[in-house]
């Protein structure tokens, strides 16, 4: 390669060489990683009444879950179960915008309850999760509250991203050091 072409390219990119490498590595990471990542914008539970882990003195008449995205009424499931994993009689979910409400039929006695939901975001991903609350003096429900999006957990995604970034940087370094050697020997 002719020297002036090289220097022109360097002027265009500007800045010290390590910045160029970082840019290339970052670009490579984006190119490699982005298309494989299923949409980031999954629906998530934004707020709930009763709130997760709430210790209530009076029984709630309804459970309302609000998500960060519009719900599709056809694909919204909300169930309330007692400590014996028996489903508490409740209405079908009434969906309004991003919120779904089930009215509990009859009064809840003292005890631990679990709210579980399975909803579908507008891009078709299923989001399900659960949390507990108690009425009266009962102990906290023994449910592992949590949310899963059906995809990889965020931690794993970040881990994959970090490994990908590392590999891309190594690749970028090898690419540029290889080119430098070529130029040197030419």
Residues that bind another protein (CB under 8 A): 38-39, 74-75, 77, 79-81, 85, 87, 114, 116-118, 120, 123-126, 128-130, 143-144, 148-152
Helices 3-13 and 17-33, packing angle to 10 deg: 70
Q: For another protein, which is the closer residue by CB, 20 or 72?
A: 72
In whole angstroms, the minimum distance from the beta carbon of 128 to another protein comes to 6
For residue 66, give the nearest of 114, 100, 41, 103 by alpha carbon: 100
**Rounded to the nearest whole angstrom, what is the least distance from the CB of residue 122 to another protein in the complex?**
10
Which distant-in-sequence residues (6+ apart) come within 8 Å of 135 by Cβ?
56, 57, 58, 59, 60, 108, 109, 110, 111, 113
Nearest distance, CB of residue 95 and another protein, angstroms: 13
Give the nearer residue to another protein in terms of CB position, either 9 or 87. 87
Cβ atoms within 10 Å of 117's Cβ, excluding its own: 23
Q: Which of 71, 50, 70, 72 is nearest to 132 (CA)?
A: 50
- Rounded to the nearest whole angstrom, what is the least distance from the CB of residue 125 to another protein in the complex? 5
Q: Which CB atom, from 38 or from 166, has the smaller least distance to another protein?
A: 38
Which residue number, 24 or 115, has a Cβ lying nearer to another protein? 115
Which residue lies nearer to another protein by CB, 21 or 118?
Answer: 118
DSSP states of 4-58 as a string? HHHHHHHHHH-S-HHHHHHHHHHHHHHHHHGGGS--S----EEEEESPTT-EESS
CB of 148 to another protein, least distance (A): 8
């Amino acid at each position: 390669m002719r020297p002036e072409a090289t220097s022109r390219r360097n002027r265009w990119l500007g800045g010290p060489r390590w910045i160029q490498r970082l840019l290339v590595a970052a670009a490579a990471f984006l190119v490699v990683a982005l298309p494989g990542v299923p949409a980031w914008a999954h629906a998530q539970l934004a707020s709930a009444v009763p709130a997760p882990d709430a210790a209530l003195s009076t029984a709630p008449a309804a459970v309302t879950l609000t998500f960060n995205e519009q719900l599709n009424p056809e694909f919204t499931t909300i169930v309330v179960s007692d400590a014996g994993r028996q489903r508490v009689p409740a209405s079908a979910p009434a969906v309004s915008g991003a919120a779904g409400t089930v009215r509990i039929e009859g009064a809840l006695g003292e005890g631990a309850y679990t709210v579980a939901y399975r909803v579908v975001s507008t891009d078709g991903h299923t989001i399900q999760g659960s949390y507990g609350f108690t009425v009266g003096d009962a102990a906290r429900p023994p449910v592992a509250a949590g949310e899963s999006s059906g995809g990889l957990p965020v931690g794993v995604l970040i881990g994959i991203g970090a490994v990908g970034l590392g590999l891309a940087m190594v690749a970028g370094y090898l690419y540029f050091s290889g080119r430098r050697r070529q130029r040197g020997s030419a």
